[in-house]
Amino acid sequence: MAKRVTGPEIEKLIQLLAKVPGLGPRSARRAALHLVKKKDQLLGPLADAMGEAHRKVRICSCCGNVDTVDPCTVCTDERRDRSVIIVVEDVSDLWALERAGAMNAAYHVLGGTLSPLDGVGPDDLNIRGLINRVSEGGVRELIIAVNATVEGQTTAHYITDQLQGLDVKITRLAHGVPVGGELDYLDEGTLTAALRARTTI
Amino acid sequence: MQWNDEAIVLGVRRHGETSVIAEVMTRSHGRHLGVVRSGRSRAMQPVLQPGNSVDVTWRARLDEHLGEFRIEPLQLRAGRLMEAAIAVYGVQAMAALLRFLPERDPHPHLFEMLAVVLEHLHEPADAGELVVRFELAVLEDLGYGLDLARCAATGDTVDLVFVSPKSGRAVSRSAGMPWADRMLALPGFLGEATGAAADAQALAEGFRLSAYFLNRHVCEPRGLQLSTAREGFVQATLKALAARSAEFAS
């Protein structure tokens, strides 16, 4: 049996860090050692920041975003065009779209996609909240920005079906050649979609 | 242990940060699961979409292990399927149906049928009829096949318009009329009018027929329900046919 080289507190820290995406047991050990070495400059402030985040973080009751205030910062931003809602699968997609800065719209986070293999059905997603938001009125366009996967598009069509009869324009993201993409390496489906959605130069 | 086979992707589930567990319907090895290393890479994600045909090599130390897949694309249909509601619902509904089959149990004719249906998922009448036939074929492979060739009461092979909800056998018009309110309708395309294009009513009857027996024999005993995708597929098919009829009428 291997001898223990650290106390249970540091072992627990390593075990928890190893559960963070991108970190395995070895890199968690390195990160833990780094934190322990920089106890005052890093470990203390990090622990405080995590504690504070843990106390304050909540899901936005309006859009499903993660923030420390409810409604979230995005929902309370007066400068946003609230007549346009971008529907995304996950908070990470919301952050990605905000990084792009292409739209100044409101968001709605579904919390996943319909996935029979993972047992995710309509009731497990934040679809009811979306329908309520649109039903309340004032929404001109709904942009369904889900992943270009069969599960993502099934979810998009399901949402479209559920919103039938409501006076809202429903659009989705275009599918096509990514920036820096080489045609030779693209799959036939993407190429077909790109050709169909071609634009005049 | 190693084998190579042609397969159609049914779904994927995340496995760690970079890999996935892929579920495929193979020609000779039935519904099979396996780990795909780097399955979440940019190169593999488009390949591992439901509905795509792939060449799969499965490898494991022991037969009972989950094993690993090495996957090469053969025909990538997913991009085309994603364009229409009827197609994405269809592929998800059939994948959900195939999950009722035991793993690693070969059903080569279901594989063939699945490949055919996937090629016709954009044509509502064809897709609807083919999916109903596919559902009945799955029922048959699960041991609950319907006998739609002759009347359960008289042995007649003509004028079969009902199906007994009790026995799953066809019933002729004359024999079934007294119990017509309790009988299920047998759509023409499953009976004598094979070859004729199915209309919206016939398809609705076909969907009701297969749903009744799927619920009774497969879903209810397992405490499950038919997939949401199936309901979406039925609605999308009937809506497309209604829109087409309205177009012709005008």
Of A116, A121, A187, the CB nearest to B46: A187
pLDDT at B54: 96
pLDDT along chain B (250 residues), means of 10: 96 92 96 96 90 96 95 90 91 95 96 96 91 96 93 87 93 90 91 71 94 96 91 93 81
d(CA A23, CA B27): 39
C-beta separation of B33 from B64 below 8 A? no
The pLDDT of A160-181, averaged and rounded, is 90
- Report field, pTM of the whole predicted structure over 0.80: yes
Pairwise CB contact (< 8 Å): A153 & B88: yes
Pick left, alpha or beta for residue B54 (phi over 0 → left; psi -120 to 50 → alpha; otherwise beta). beta
Cβ-Cβ pairs closer than 8 A, A with B, add up to: 85
Pairwise CB contact (< 8 Å): B95 & A193: no
C-beta separation of B169 from B152 below 8 A? yes
Q: Which residues pair with A172 in a beta bridge?
A: A144
d(CA A188, CA A193): 9
pLDDT above 70 for A1: no
Q: Is residue A185 less than 8 Å (CB to CB) from chain B?
A: yes
Q: Is residue B19 less than 8 Å (CB to CB) from chain A?
A: no
C-beta separation of B185 from B202 below 8 A? no
d(CA B227, CA B242): 23
pLDDT at B209: 96
Share of chain A above pLDDT 70, in %: 99
Residues A67-96: tens digit of each pLDDT: 999 999 999 999 999 999 999 999 999 999
d(CA B243, CA B236): 10
Of A117, A122, A150, the CB nearest to B228: A122
Residues B191-222: tens digit of each pLDDT: 766 566 778 899 999 999 999 999 999 999 99
Of B110, B101, B6, give the one whose Cα is nearest residue B52.
B6
Q: b/e per residue, A75-100, with b = 16+ CB within 10 A?
A: beeeeeeeebbbbbbbbebbeebeee
Fill in the DSSP letter of residue B69: E
pLDDT at B196: 64
* Residues on chain B touching A117 (C-beta within 8 angstroms): 10-13, 23, 95, 99
Residues A15-52: tens digit of each pLDDT: 999 999 889 889 999 999 999 999 999 999 999 999 99
d(CA B130, CA A190): 27
Name the one residue in this structure whose structure tokens are 């820290």.
A13
Task: Indicate which of A154, A164, A179, A185 best probes the interface with B, i.e. most B CBs within 10 Å of its own CB.
Answer: A154
Pairwise CB contact (< 8 Å): B88 & A154: yes
CA distance B171 to chain A (A): 36
Share of chain A above pLDDT 90, in %: 72
Q: What is the DSSP string of A7-75?
A: -HHHHHHHHHHTTSTT--HHHHHHHHHHHHHTIIIIIHHHHHHHHHHHHH-EE-TTT--EESSSS-HHH
Q: Is residue B224 less than 8 Å (CB to CB) from chain A?
A: no
Question: Looking at the domain A80-172, which fold is it?
Answer: Dna Topoisomerase Vi A Subunit; Chain: A, domain 2 (3.40.1360)
d(CA B205, CA B191): 12
Q: Which residues pair with B6 in a beta bridge?
A: B55
The domain limits of chain A are 80-172
Residues A112-129: tens digit of each pLDDT: 999 877 788 889 999 999
Of B24, B47, B21, give the one whose Cα is nearest residue B34.
B21
